[in-house]
Structure 1
Amino acid sequence: MAIQRPKGTQDHLPDGSPKLSLDTQASAFQDVQDTARRVLSRAGAQFVSTPIFEEAELVKRGVGGSTDIVRKEMFTVYYFGDHGGFILRPEGTAGIVRSYLQNGLKQLPSPLKLWTHGPMFRAENVQKGRLRQFHQVDYEVLGSADPLVDAEAISLMVDVVSALGLTGVRVKLGSIGDPADRDAYNAYLRELFGAHVERLSDDSKDRLERNPMRILDSKSAGDQALIAELGVNPMLDFLGDEARAHFQAVQTYLNAWNVTYDIDPSIVRGLDYYRRTAWELHHEGVGAKSALGGGGRYDGLAEQLGGPLVPGIGWAFGIERLLLAMEAEGLDVPASGGPLLYVVALDDQFVGHAATVAMVARQVARAEFAYRAVKPGSAFRDAGRRGAQFVALIGSDEVQGNVLSIKNLTTGVQSTVPTRDLNSFLGDHLEQTGTAAAHGPAVPQENA
């Protein structure tokens, strides 16, 4: 049996592949990334790229030692003896904040908006929408604690998924207050759950002393049944005056911008550096756990990583989960499309000439060529399979006359074009049809 890909990973395939679904379609991933780039760059966000592995200590501080991610789901890479190990990044925020501190990005205009996309890694139980290597779009804003920044971040997340055509999404909005508010809430939870400690899962017994808010995120059915039975008061009931005013200001902005949301008191972020605003974006089409992604304010993270106080807020969504939601709504993405021009030699001695013609044409459009000589009928069939719009045939007469015999496969119109005028011919067509964006030169992509 041939070697298979690792469990919990996916191949991203070219259009037309026999086993293609939207969440494995390479052009669909590109479309999500391009859409995010367009929406976020218009809002002033700049692309940033960080390594896919970081020091283990960064991830432990940045994600939190009490989380399932750190305790159960990290991929650790060891090398050369006694080094403490690197972690394949499970999320993007900690690395971006580390980069901000290490590279002096505080000198840039504030607030600094950054975004990225790329693979993340968690050793999860594999199920629909949950992979061990998955991909995220990530947006972070550093340098401002203004509730206007929070509202804009939420709005931009909605803008990205809306630009992809999704309609069945909903923002669930909450707040976890300030550190003093959270301390009061944790004291309440310790007292409440302490009387029922024997009914808690082993994980939640451990969390009871270290971080009781994490009990509310428990995956244990028994824990969730106990939470429902006790009627646990929400974090929102413990907000101080400043945190409550901040939360109200965020809602005021969202209301003014017609961003729909539901107040969800169950949303918590249990780590010490989280502050105030927290939210999730949900869609029923991605499986039992309907979250596409989420975000929150993390004003204490830079200090946790050894830097100064730097207010921050950010969000991320999983691209695979987003594509599953799009598929559930019957949405598709534009196919990558074929070449505008397919150049074919009718005799072996002219194959090199056909290649040259195609390479020159690439200055204005996507162009391909046949690597061996074929007859006209085969040339037209091959061009059709590739999705080409024009076929240029090169035989002895064309070479002698320094011309190209070109057929438009859409209209059936045939014409003779001087070789030197080919790019003008193609450019005129693109201008007339408005398809320059589809067939133009590839836009350089960021490395991620």
Structure 2
Amino acid sequence: MALQRPKGTHDYLPEGSPKIQAAFRASSFQTVLQIAQTVLERSGAQFIVTPLFEEMELVKRGVGGSSDIVRKEMFTVFYFGDHGGYVLRPEGTAGVVRAYLENGLKQLPSPLKLWTHGPMFRAENVHQGRYRQFHQVDYEIIGSESALADAEAVALMAQVVETLGLKRARIRLGSVGDQADRQAYSAYLRELFTPHFEQLSDDSRDRLERNPLRILDSKSAGDQALIDELQVRPLLEALGPEAAAHFAEVRGYLDAWGVAYDLDPSIVRGLDYYNRTAWELHHEGVGAKSALGGGGRYDGLAEELGGPATPGLGWAFGIERVLLALEAEGVNLLLAGGPQLYLAALDNENVALAAKLALQVRSQARAEFAYRALKPGQIFREAERRGAVYAGLLGSQEAERGVVTLKHLKSGTQREVLFDDLAEALAEAAVLEQA
């Protein structure tokens, strides 16, 4: 039996591959990254790369020891004696904040905007939109307590999604308040749920004392039914005056900028270092678990990781989930197909010259060349197969006169272009075609 890719992973294939999946084209994946990069870097974000694996202790502190990720879904890499071990990263924020603290990035202009992308890993059951290796685009802004930073982060996520062409994605916005707000709310939840202890799932019974906010995130249908039955008061209604003022300021900016969102009082974050603004990005096209990503403020995370008090916030979305949403809306993210030029020699003596000219053209246009001499009919068929705009023919007569015969495949028009003018001619033609 032939070897197969691991369950819960994807191959992103080039166009024309016989087994290509509609949502998982390499060109679509690449376009998502290009659009995210353009939007985020125009805002001043700088690119950062962190390791695919981190110390287990970092992930426990950065994600939370009581979370399902730490308790059930981590991929352990290896151990060294008494060392706590390493795990494949399940998300990107903890590694970025660790890099910020470890490498003295506080010395850079503040607030510091960073973005990254790459694979993440979780050992979970595989179904639509949830995989064991998935990819995220991640944005973080470190060093600002301003509500303006929160609003800008939400707006940037909305701008990336809009630029991708998604129409039905919605941002659900909420606030988890300050630490004192959550402590009071946790006491309220313990008092509310304790008489119904036997009705809770095993996970929620465990959470009741340690972290009752996580009950509200339970995946158990029974827990969610109990939450509805008890009419649990949302955390958003229990905010203190400072957190409430901060949230009102965030909403004011978004309203003024025309950034659409739905108010969602049910959003919670179960860890103490999360505070104030929290949001999720949803799309019904990816199934019942409709979240494409989310974000929030984490002013206590740097301290949790052993650094000085440093405000921060950020967001991430799953590329696979965004691609599924795009497919559901029928949005085609394919990059412009083939090369501007497919160049081939008509005889063996000019194969090397054709290659040289193609390399020179690449300074201004995408060009490919044949590795052996071809007949004119073969050149045209191969150029069309590759999706080229022009087929270029180079025979002994052309070589003597220093010209290439160019055929525009769509119109069938043909002309000769001097070697020295080839790159500029193709660049000009590309501009005209896009106009």
TM-score, length of structure 1 as denominator length? 0.94
Aligned to 1:138: 138
Q: Which residue of 2 aligns with 1:442?
A: none
The residue that corresponds to 1:241 in the other structure is 241
Which position in structure 1 is the counterpart of 2:222? 222
* Secondary structure of 2:371's aligned partner: coil
Write the deviation string for residues 261-289 of structure 1: whole angstroms up to 9, x where unpaired.
22211110000100011111111101111
Number of the residue aligned with 1:66: 66
Letter in 2 for 1:75: F
Q: Which runs of 5+ in 1 are unaligned?
A: 436-448
CA distance in 1, matches of 2:180, 2:81: 43
Cα shift readout 1:108-130 (whole Å, capped 9, x = no counterpart): 11111111111111111100011
How far is the alpha carbon of 1:73 from its aligned partner?
0.4
- Give deviations 1:407-440, integer Å, cap 9, x for gaps: 12122122222223322322332344448xxxxx
Identity of matched residues, %: 67
Distance (Å, rounded) in 1 between the aligned partners of 2:166 and 2:424: 39
Distance 1:150 1:128 in 2: 30
* Residue in structure 2 matched with residue 291 of structure 1 by the alignment: 291
Residue 254, structure 1, aligned to residue 271, structure 2: no
Map of 2:305 onto structure 1: 305
Following the alignment from structure 1 to structure 2, what is the Cα–Cα distance between the partners of residues 356 and 83? Answer: 55
2:9–2:131: 8 Å Cα contact kept in structure 1?
Answer: yes
Count the aligned residue pairs: 435
Q: Which residue of 2 aligns with 1:397?
A: 397
**8 Å Cα contact 1:15/1:335 also seen in 2:** no
**Which residue identity is paired with 2:299?**
D
Distance 1:415 1:16 in 2: 30
Rounded Cα–Cα distance in structure 2 between residues aligned with 1:159 and 1:187: 38
Equivalent residue letter for 1:30 = Q
Deviation at 1:21, TM superposition (A): 3.2
CA distance in structure 2 between the aligned counterparts of 1:233 and 1:245, rounded to whole angstroms: 20
1:49–1:116 contact (8 Å) kept in structure 2: yes
Question: Would the aligned equivalents of 2:340 and 2:430 in 1 still touch at CA under 8 Å?
Answer: no
Whether the 8 Å contact between 1:137 and 1:316 is mirrored in structure 2 is yes
- Aligned AA (1:365): A
Which position in structure 2 is the counterpart of 1:441?
A: none
- How do 1:425-440 residues align onto structure 2 when only pairs under 5 Å count? 425-434=425-434
Change (3 A) 1:393 1:355: same
**SS at 1:23's partner residue?**
coil
How far apart are 1:239 and its partner, in Å? 0.9
CA contact (8 A) 1:197 1:205 kept: yes
Contact 1:39 1:159 in 2 (8 A): yes
Cross-structure match for 1:17: 17
Classify the secondary structure of the residue corresponding to 2:188: helix
Partner of 1:388: 388
1-structure distance, mates of 2:180, 2:13:
50
Q: Is the 8 A contact 1:389 1:410 kept in 2?
A: yes
Q: CA deviation at 1:82?
A: 4.6
Indicate the residue corresponding to 1:445 in structure 2: none
CA separation in 2, counterparts of 1:98 and 1:355?
A: 47
Q: Which moved more, 1:354-363 or 1:91-100?
A: 354-363
Moved more, 161-170 or 415-424: 415-424
Secondary structure of the structure 2 residue equivalent to 1:294 = strand
Q: 1:79 to 1:194 in 2, by over 3 A?
A: closer
Asked if 1 retains the 8 angstrom alpha-carbon contact of 2:234 and 2:265, the reply is yes
Structure 1 residue 232, shift from structure 2 partner: 1.1
- Report the residue type matching 1:11 in the other structure: D
Aligned twin of 2:276: 276
Q: SS at the partner of 2:272?
A: coil
User: Is 1:5 the equivalent of 2:5?
Assistant: yes
Letter in 2 for 1:413: T
Residue 374 of structure 1 aligns to which amino acid in structure 2? L
CA distance in 1, matches of 2:234, 2:53: 36
Structure 1, 80-89 or 180-189: larger mean CA deviation = 80-89
CA displacement 1:146-172 (0-9 Å, x = unmatched): 111111111111111011111112111
Which residue pairs with 1:206 in the alignment?
A: 206
Whether 2:363 is the aligned partner of 1:363: answer yes
Q: Does 1:127 align with 2:105?
A: no
Structure 2 SS opposite 1:24 = coil
Distance 2:383 2:310 in 1: 56
Structure 1 distance, partners of 2:291, 2:430, is: 41
SS of the residue corresponding to residue 247 of structure 1 reads helix
Partner of 2:409: 409
Distance across 1 between alignment mates of 2:157 and 2:288: 22
Larger deviation, residues 213-222 vs 22-31? 22-31
- Note the residue ranges of structure 2 that are not aligned, 5 or more in a row: none
Given residue 395 of structure 1, which amino acid in structure 2 is its aligned partner?
A: G
Query: For 2:23, what is the secondary structure of its paired residue?
Result: helix
From the superposition, tell whether residues 308 and 80 of structure 1 become closer, same or farther in structure 2 (CA, over 3 Å): closer
- CA–CA distance in 1 between the matches of 2:48 and 2:82? 31
Give the letter for the 1:245 counterpart.
Answer: A
Please say if residues 280 and 295 of structure 2, whose CA atoms lie closer than 8 Å, have aligned partners that are also in contact. yes
- Residues 193-251 of structure 1, C-alpha deviations (whole Å, 9 max, x = no match): 11111121111111111101001111111211111111111112221111111111111
Say if 1:282 and 1:291, in contact at 8 Å, map to a contact too. yes
Q: Are the structure 2 counterparts of residues 262 and 430 from structure 1 closer, same or farther at C-alpha, using a change threshold of 3 Å?
A: closer
Q: CA deviation at 1:259?
A: 1.6
Are residue 319 (structure 1) and residue 312 (structure 2) matched?
Answer: no
Distance 2:151 2:66 in 1: 29
Matched, 1:372 2:368: no
